[in-house]
Amino acid sequence: MIVEKKRIKLNALQSKTLMLLQILAKDPDSSSPAGENGDIRITRLPHAHGNHMHVGDFVVASRDASGLNNKSVWIALSRKGLVRESWENEIILTAAGLEYSTGLEKNFMTASDH
């Protein structure tokens, strides 16, 4: 008998925030390894200028990144095991968070020339 892993459900804002964290985790200027278990420390969060921000090689509308400043989003991501509970002190994206498919990956196929 095959036991299926229960799918973690995220709302739209949680998905967008996790996707941005995954992009930052792949950017060596914004992240570093956090141990040997596949977790990644986010060392720098982007700041909005005007109506957008730069996240790795991508330009993202500020409204789509509002979850980065939303305590409820961080609590939910932590409760679901996608970021570590110590997110208020340091942001650690867990290996599960890094591997999770938000379904938004297709929106980040081409880097911006901005």
- Tell me what pLDDT residue 39 has: 96
Please indicate whether residue 6 or residue 57 has the higher confidence score (pLDDT). Answer: 57
In this prediction the pTM is: 0.86
Tell me phi and psi for residue 81, to 5 degrees. Answer: 80, 20
30-66 tens-digit pLDDT: 999 998 899 999 999 888 888 888 887 888 888 888 9
Helix-helix angle 71-79:12-25, to 10 degrees: 80
| pLDDT bucket at 114, cuts 50 / 70 / 90 | low
Residue 62's pLDDT is what?
87
